[in-house]
Structure 1
């Protein structure tokens, strides 16, 4: 397994490096620490920042308790943050990117450009672990929102293969009883409405079980939960109740103005929850990883 941990030397990035180190040690993975230097700066300043960044990365590899036992490489690359991270990940054949949470207050700008982590997710083919909290050796309470799509199935498979998702995780599905409003407006009794909603919930539960069987994901290994409501409402409620260590989600990868205007559940989660989130993008068979020349590389 090859893990890329991107850092801008902030506190949030430090937490992400520690988590990446624990993951790498547990899985005997190869770990690449990547820092991106802004190439729009004057040339002398770029070279100075490259040297300093390389020094700091090597220093962190030697001093961070989670890193010495891992196979670590330090890489400094020029470019814009999200593009540099993607190029560095492509060059090493990354299986997972680990990044610290980043919530900019430039709301209107973010609507159209997104934060670095969102652009890495949208622009690449790599699962991305966004680290919000202190590093932990094992994620014990994992919540997996699913919409019964192939993307959701891929997210579960990647979570299992990366060792981030174990038996006993809770799979969560949001359902909307489409006729409930009509029953309410027609004056139907609360018993009739409750019976209808329960029937819809049972149907959604059966659909989730069938989805797991069809994808050979073993329905007996999970805790299944089906809640009424819009997806983000259901996720927020489940997070508040279960207090998970991590969410595992697939993203459908919408792009362009449509995505910018209507957003996505995944991006709402990234911007609002305070737990670690593993985001798995849709499979893209046509993606060809570009070549990259790193500014410097060192192994500890």
Structure 2
């Protein structure tokens, strides 16, 4: 998994949007990353009057207060596609969770959901007031090949945070066995074996060399993964949940709700979504971004 070298923070200049910018700034300081700020208003609405100058003022204040170089995207937008295009040249996109109650959102999905479909960078959706560091991170793992990558990324995302691995055992296996009239004794034995295998694999993950830099706990739940994750986050009072996002064909992404989409509706922490095919911001992309900046002008 790539290091975070460039961050784009998107705000509508609301309180929540500006808190997302603050979180992005603190992450930029921690990772030595570049930071861009971008204004994006509600879909279908005219840009807020004076948005560009207000954003530039916030950038200057943030730069002076934190000693951080901050750039602004002067072009105000109100389309998900514009945000996704700008995010192609960064490693991390940061934005606040905001529900769109328009008919378009009901049909096409919430703006953050559409961004998750289009972005191949890490996406941090903020919900809590930023502190200097995250205190506790829950990492959702399916115990597949990508689980180790998620754990290592969480350890690097905030090296001071405690990390809790979490895996939810779905109940589909047992339901199928009951449908086939398998005895409860056999079903119980099957569940015990699944739990044993899950614990063994969780122990292997938490014992990794990178994981030892952070305190790592682990837990296993049963039931719907999104609901179980939300329960675990609340129980641990975690301020960040890290989840992977598998890449699916566009139609399947629109038709089927992902774990990320369902989790955003019920969790009380920030959520970091890691695409399965996450792509680092390469030098050619950085050059394209700089060329675009010279063409349109930045604050």
TM-score, normalising length from structure 1? 0.79
Structure 1 stretch displaced more, 178-187 or 138-147: 178-187
Shift of 1:240: 2.8
Q: What is aligned with 2:33?
A: 29
**Alignment counterpart, residue 5 of structure 1, candidates 3, 9, 12:** 9
Shift of 1:251: 0.4
Q: What is aligned with 2:117?
A: 122
Structure-to-structure mapping, 1:1-300, within 5 angstroms:
1-36=5-40, 49=49, 52-64=50-62, 68-77=66-75, 79-90=77-88, 93-106=89-102, 109-161=104-156, 163-164=157-158, 166=160, 168-176=162-170, 178-179=173-174, 182=177, 188=184, 197-210=191-204, 218=211, 222-283=216-277, 291=288, 293-294=292-293, 295-298=296-299
Shift of 1:123: 0.6
Cα distance change on mapping 1:238 and 1:58 into 2, 3 Å = same
Shift of 1:272: 2.0
Cα distance change on mapping 1:200 and 1:115 into 2, 3 Å = same
Q: Deviations over 1:13-64 (max 9, x none)?
A: 11101111222223332211112479988xxx87x95xx2221012112334
Structure 1 stretch displaced more, 16-25 or 149-158: 149-158
Secondary structure of residue in 1 paired with 2:248: coil
Q: Tell me, which stretches of 5 or more residues in structure 1 are unaligned? A: none
Cα distance change on mapping 1:139 and 1:59 into 2, 3 Å = same
Cα distance change on mapping 1:159 and 1:182 into 2, 3 Å = closer
Shift of 1:12: 1.4
Cα distance change on mapping 1:281 and 1:224 into 2, 3 Å = same
Alpha-carbon RMSD: 3.5
Secondary structure of residue in 2 paired with 1:266: helix
Cα distance change on mapping 1:187 and 1:155 into 2, 3 Å = closer
Q: Deviations over 1:232-254 (max 9, x none)?
A: 23212212321211001110133
Secondary structure of residue in 1 paired with 2:115: helix
Secondary structure of residue in 2 paired with 1:297: coil
Q: Which has the higher contact order (CA 8 A, sep 6+)?
A: 1
